A and B are shown apart, each in its own frame.
Chain A
Amino acid sequence: MKLRMGLQARFLVLMGVAMLVVLALVALLLNRQERMRNEVEGVSRQAMRTMVGQSLRRQGEVAVTQLAAALTNPLYYSDLDAVGALARSALAAPDVRYVIVFDEEGKVVHDGSEDIAHYGRHMDDAMAKQVIAATALHTQFDDRVMDVSMPILIGQERVGGVRIGYDMQAMRRFQDQSVDKLRSRLDTLGQRHVIWIGLLGAGLLVFGALSLWLIQRLLVRPIRRLAESAQEIEAGHFDTTTPADGRNDEVGDLMRAFDRMSRSLARHDREIRRMAYTDALTGLANRLAFREALDERLDQSSGRQLALLFADIDDFKRVNDTLGHDAGDDVLLECAHRIESAVARVGGEDALLARFGGDEFVILVQGKDDPLDEVRTLATKLAETLVVDLGKPVEVQGRQVFLGTSIGITLFPEDAASGTTLMKNGDIAMYQAKVAGKNCFRFYSRAMNQAVERRVHLEQELRGAWDRGELSLVYQPVFRLVDGAMIGAEALLRWRHPELGFVAPSVFIDVAEQSGLIEVLGPQVLHAACSDAVAWQKTRKDPEPLFVAVNVSPRQLRNGDLPNVVSACLRDTGLSADLLHLELTETAVIGDELHASALLSELRGMGVRVWLDDFGTGFSGLSHLRRVPVDGVKIDRSFVADVLRDPDDLALTTAIIAMAHSLGILVVAEGVEKEGQYSILRERGCDFAQGYWLGHPVTVDEFLQLQR
Chain B
Amino acid sequence: MIASLRRTALLTLCLLATAAAPLIALAGNDSGVLVLGRISDDPKKHYEQLKPLLDYVIPRLADVGIHEGRILMAKDTQQMASYLRRGRVDWVTETTGTAMLLHQRAGARPLLLTERDGVSHYHSIFFARRDSGLSSLDDLRGHSIAFQRPNSTSAYFVPAAELLRRGFSLEILLSPEDRIERDEVGYMFAWSELNISTWVHKGLADVGVMSNLDWANPHRMPPSFRNDLMVIGETVDYPRAVEMVRDGLDPRVEARLREVLIDAAGDPDAGDALLRFFNTTRFMPMDPESQKALDRISEGVARVRAEVE
- Listed in ascending order, the chain A residues whose CB lies under 8 Å from chain B are 76-82, 84, 114-116, 119-120
Contacts and interface: CB of A to CB of B under 8 A. Distances in A.
A116 B203 CA distance: 12
B202 A120 contact: yes
Interface string B184-221: 00000011101100110111100000000000000000
Contacts of B224: 114-115
Contacts of A78: 175-176, 190, 195, 199, 204
A119 B176 CA distance: 14
Contacts of A79: 190-192, 195
Contacts of A77: 175, 191
A80 B225 contact: no
A84 B175 contact: no
Contacts of B222: 114-115
Interface in B148-204: 175-176, 190-192, 194-195, 198-199, 201-204
A165 to B, nearest CB: 22
Contacts of B191: 77, 79, 81-82
B195 A81 contact: yes
A72 to B, nearest CB: 12
Contacts of A114: 222, 224
17 contacts: A76-B175, A77-B175, A78-B175, A78-B204, A79-B192, A80-B198, A80-B199, A80-B202, A81-B191, A81-B192, A81-B194, A82-B195, A84-B194, A84-B198, A115-B224, A116-B198, A120-B202
A158 B190 CA distance: 22
B203 A120 contact: yes
Contacts of B203: 120
Contacts of A120: 202-203
Which secondary structure characterizes the binding site on chain A? loop
B207 to A, nearest CB: 16
A115 B198 CA distance: 8
Contacts of B192: 79, 81-82
Nearest to A89: B1
Contacts of A80: 194-195, 198-199, 202, 204
Contacts of B201: 115-116, 119
Closest A-B pairs by Cβ, 5 of them: A81-B192, A115-B224, A81-B195, A81-B194, A80-B198
B205 to A, nearest CB: 9
Nearest to B204: A78
Nearest to B225: A115
Contacts of A115: 201, 222, 224-225
Given A114-B224, A115-B222, A81 B202 contact: no
B228 to A, nearest CB: 9
A398 B195 CA distance: 171
Contacts of B198: 80-81, 84, 116
A102 to B, nearest CB: 13
B202 A116 contact: yes
A385 B224 CA distance: 157
Contacts of A84: 194, 198
Contacts of A119: 201-202
A79 B175 CA distance: 10
Nearest to A108: B202
A411 B201 CA distance: 153
A78 B222 CA distance: 18
Nearest to B193: A81
B53 to A, nearest CB: 31
Contacts of A116: 198, 201-202
Q: Which has the most chain A C-beta neighbours within 10 Å: B198, B199, B222?
A: B198
Nearest to A119: B202
B168 to A, nearest CB: 23
Nearest to B227: A115
Nearest to B174: A77
Contacts of B194: 80-81, 84
A162 B175 CA distance: 20
Interface in B257-292: none
Nearest to A78: B176
